[in-house]
Amino acid sequence: MKHKSSSYTEELKRLSALRNLDKIRTGVNSLYYRVVKTHTDRDGLGNFPVNGQSFRINKEYLLSEFSQIQEAHSIERAKYYIKRLIKSLNEIRLGKLNDINLNRWKEYNDIVTDSLWEIDKRDRSGTHTAGYWGNFVPQIPNQLLRRYTKKNDWVLDAFLGSGTTLIECKKLGRNGIGVELQPSIARKAQQAIDKENSEIPMRCPVIVGDSKQLNLSQEIKKYGTSSVQFVLLHPPYWDIIKFSNNDSDLSNSKTINDFLSDFGKVVDNCSKILDQGRYLAVVIGDKYSDGNWIPLGFYTMQEVLNRNYSLKSIIVKNFKQTKAKRGQERLWRYRALVGGFYVFKHEYIFLFKKIVPINSLSSKLQK
Ligand SMILES: C[S@@+](CC[C@H](N)C(=O)[O-])C[C@H]1O[C@@H](n2cnc3c(N)ncnc32)[C@H](O)[C@@H]1O
């Protein structure tokens, strides 16, 4: 590699000592074209030594930083941008709960921070398959894991289904535990997870069991951890899809109150092993019954809020055709016009943070 970060840094330092804005611009311009012509390094610029590690830098990011310096209207502003760039090239400032380098936050264009998620195509890379009725798109766990976990953290998915979350864990270098009630589905999920490649060996076991009752502390100890750092819950949307004939299956709950009470039991069970200050996400949609909209999303949100959690975000995600409704769009449009309702086109991702119980806070204060 011809141009290492040290040479960029040294040149930037030299430029920031100049007293003439035009000279700074000319110097930055030559750095700009040096980067543009780095053809040998297609993914970005390599071998930047930071904190004793070597890491890559995104070419577009570097070019946009150079442009900003060139467009600065005053010498003070140009020097401020140079100083900031030197810092971002030489220091890593990781997020508290993730591995996002905040000094280079502009590089993370693919991390969504808006509350409206429009995902038009399912990620079909690796061992993901779209075959399991009721699965979610891999982009959901992918986004959440990158925001709320670090490499080597432990993730729990208590309604694993086809294993989407654990496949993403493996790809992203996170450990994961999945719980699935149906043995045959759990087996298939484990096979898909095992086949997925990962840069470093990750532990991603699938446990067959009822997430309301399973002794999770005992289970996760077998894999060498005593807690998890993120919980992802994608429960049945009550009885919209009947997943099995098992009475413990949440899709077989007899009434909405039974469904919510069972869902609450799963939250309680998972909370026992989730670290304080860490996040829990619920992915769920609403349903219609006898012509009435049943807001399952907000009901389940309230179940979580009845416990020791604070609400951090409500994300609305677009909802593409399901297998059930494929080819029936015109019929649903007609039904909507006749019945005076709207056709579901969205579902929710609720994000919660586990907080210290108020009782234990006040007892600590009294001591
Ligand atoms: C909506 S699906 C999850 C799909 C998953 N996110 C995926 O991408 O494949 C819900 C899953 O929860 C399972 N399930 C239902 N009740 C359960 C329970 N009490 N304990 C564990 N799993 C349960 C169902 O068998 C089903 O596979």
Domain identity same for 92 and 124: no
Query: Cα of 161 to ligand 1 centre, how many Å?
Result: 5
What pLDDT is attached to residue 243?
Answer: 97
Domain identity same for 150 and 296: yes
Query: Cα of 342 to ligand 1 centre, how many Å?
Result: 27
Domain identity same for 286 and 330: yes
Q: Which of 107, 137, 152 is the last residue of a domain?
A: 107
Report the C-alpha gap between 101 and 52 in whole angstroms. 15
Q: Which of 77, 107, 137 is the last residue of a domain?
A: 107
Testing ligand 1's pocket by substitution, the residue of 122, 243, 268 carrying the most ligand atoms inside 8 A of its CB is 243
What pLDDT is attached to residue 86?
Answer: 92
What pLDDT is attached to residue 127?
Answer: 86
What pLDDT is attached to residue 357?
Answer: 80
What pLDDT is attached to residue 198?
Answer: 85
Q: Measured between alpha carbons, how far is residue 232 from residues 181, 281, 353 in Å?
A: 16, 5, 12
What pLDDT is attached to residue 35?
Answer: 83
Query: Cα of 236 to ligand 1 centre, how many Å?
Result: 6
What pLDDT is attached to residue 51?
Answer: 54
What pLDDT is attached to residue 291?
Answer: 83
Domain identity same for 139 and 72: no
Query: Cα of 204 to ligand 1 centre, how many Å?
Result: 17
Report the C-alpha gap between 103 and 324 in whole angstroms. 46
- Structural domain count of the chain: 2
Kindly report, residue by residue over 184-222, the tens digit of the pLDDT.
999 999 999 999 988 888 999 999 999 999 999 999 999
How many CB atoms are located within 10 Å of the residue 126 CB? 16
Report the C-alpha gap between 29 and 94 in whole angstroms. 30
80 alpha carbon, distance to own chain's centre: 33
What pLDDT is attached to residue 34?
Answer: 84
Per the CB < 8 A criterion, the answer to whether 191 and 167 are in contact is no
| The pair of three-digit structure tokens given for residue 105, joined into one six-digit string | 């936050």
Domain identity same for 158 and 25: no
Domain identity same for 150 and 277: yes
Domain identity same for 102 and 120: no
Domain identity same for 71 and 137: no
Q: Atom 13, ligand 1: which residue's CA is nearest?
A: 159
Report the C-alpha gap between 55 and 75 in whole angstroms. 30
Tell me what percent of the chain is helix, strand and coil, each rounded to the nearest 5. Answer: 40, 20, 40
Domain identity same for 90 and 193: no
| HEC readout, 353-365 | EECCCHHHHHHHH
What pLDDT is attached to residue 282?
Answer: 98
Ligand 1 contacts (CB < 6 A) are 132, 134-136, 159, 161-162, 164, 179-182, 185, 210-212, 234-236, 243-244, 248-250
**Residue 80's closest CA among 36, 15, 34?**
15
Testing ligand 1's pocket by substitution, the residue of 128, 155, 181 carrying the most ligand atoms inside 8 A of its CB is 181
Per the CB < 8 A criterion, the answer to whether 143 and 133 are in contact is no
Q: Which of 107, 126, 149 is the last residue of a domain?
A: 107
The pTM for the full model equals: 0.88
**Residue 274's closest CA among 321, 239, 307?**
307
Segments of the chain with pLDDT less than 50: 1-3, 41-44
| The pair of three-digit structure tokens given for residue 90, joined into one six-digit string | 């030489």
Domain range for 31: 5-107
For the CA of 159, the closest atom of ligand 1 is 12
What pLDDT is attached to residue 39?
Answer: 62
Query: Cα of 163 to ligand 1 centre, how many Å?
Result: 10
Domain identity same for 94 and 130: no
Domain identity same for 281 and 317: yes
Q: What is the CATH number of the domain that holds 156?
A: 3.40.50.150
Domain identity same for 196 and 307: yes
Query: Cα of 92 to ligand 1 centre, how many Å?
Result: 39
